[in-house]
């Protein structure tokens, strides 16, 4: 698929997720948990398996499938270097003295990458928890506001 086709597909998927988010079906709680779970999975170190993990989580926890899977797509290719770097940095802050400095110019082989795996996984999970909490809270606030507007219009 060419670049234009990729953008078109991404736009269609985003439109579908936004339409599902603001639809009147489903509860605010379910939608909020779906978005937060999807973002958590998308930032977790299960790369290559986010969609499968999101599908499994949405069925297991009875979440909105479209929102969970759509939200797990947060790790788009342009964001991957930022996510990896942020995960190493955050893991370094948490682990303290045993941390490595993620200087990508000095990585020579696979051992250099795996040396900081605990740091990366720790940082990745903490980052996923923080960002998914913010995404969930933001989703909740937006949906509650929309629900109040809808109720006011129905009351008039």
pLDDT digits (tens, 9 = 90+) for 46-87: 888 999 999 999 999 999 998 899 899 888 888 888 888 888
Q: Which parts of the chain fold into alpha helices (H)?
A: 3-21, 28-43, 50-60, 65-71, 80-95, 110-114, 117-155
Write the pLDDT tens digit of every residue in 90-112.
998 998 876 776 666 666 666 76
Cα gap 9→21, rounded to integer Å: 18
Tell whether 66 is covered by a domain: yes
Residue 4 has pLDDT above 80, yes or no: no
Q: What is the CA radius of gyration of the chain?
A: 18
Q: Is the pTM of this model over 0.85?
A: no
**Which residue, among 39, 26, 30, has the nearest Cα to 69 in the 3D structure?**
39
**Cα angle for residues 10, 13, 71 (degrees, 5° grid):** 100
Tell whether 153 is covered by a domain: no
pLDDT at 113: 65
Cα gap 58→38, rounded to integer Å: 9
3-state helix/strand/coil string of 24-55: CCCCHHHHHHHHHHHHHHHHCCCCCCHHHHHH
Tell whether 93 is covered by a domain: yes
Q: Domain count for the chain, please give it.
A: 1
Tell whether 55 is covered by a domain: yes
Tell whether 156 is covered by a domain: no
Cα gap 101→92, rounded to integer Å: 8
Domain membership of residue 45 as a residue range: 3-148
Tell whether 116 is covered by a domain: yes
Tell whether 155 is covered by a domain: no
pLDDT at 10: 63
pLDDT at 43: 95
pLDDT exceeding 90 applies to what percent of the chain? Answer: 41
Least confident of 8-22, 29-43, 126-140: 8-22
Tell whether 22 is covered by a domain: yes
């Amino acid at each position: 698929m060419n670049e234009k086709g990729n953008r078109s597909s991404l736009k269609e998927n985003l439109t579908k997720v936004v339409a599902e988010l603001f639809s009147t079906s489903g509860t605010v709680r379910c939608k909020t948990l779906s978005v937060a779970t999807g973002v958590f999975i998308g930032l977790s170190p299960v790369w290559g398996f986010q969609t499968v993990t999101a599908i499994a989580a949405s069925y297991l926890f009875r979440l909105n499938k479209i929102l969970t899977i759509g939200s797990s797509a947060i790790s788009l290719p342009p964001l991957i270097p930022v996510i990896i770097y942020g995960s190493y940095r955050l893991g370094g802050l948490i682990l303290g003295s045993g941390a490595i400095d993620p200087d990508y110019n000095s990585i020579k082989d696979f051992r250099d990458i795996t040396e900081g795996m605990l740091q990366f996984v720790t940082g990745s999970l903490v980052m996923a928890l923080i960002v998914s909490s913010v995404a969930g809270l933001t989703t909740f606030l937006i949906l509650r506001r929309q629900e109040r507007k809808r109720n006011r219009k129905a009351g008039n």
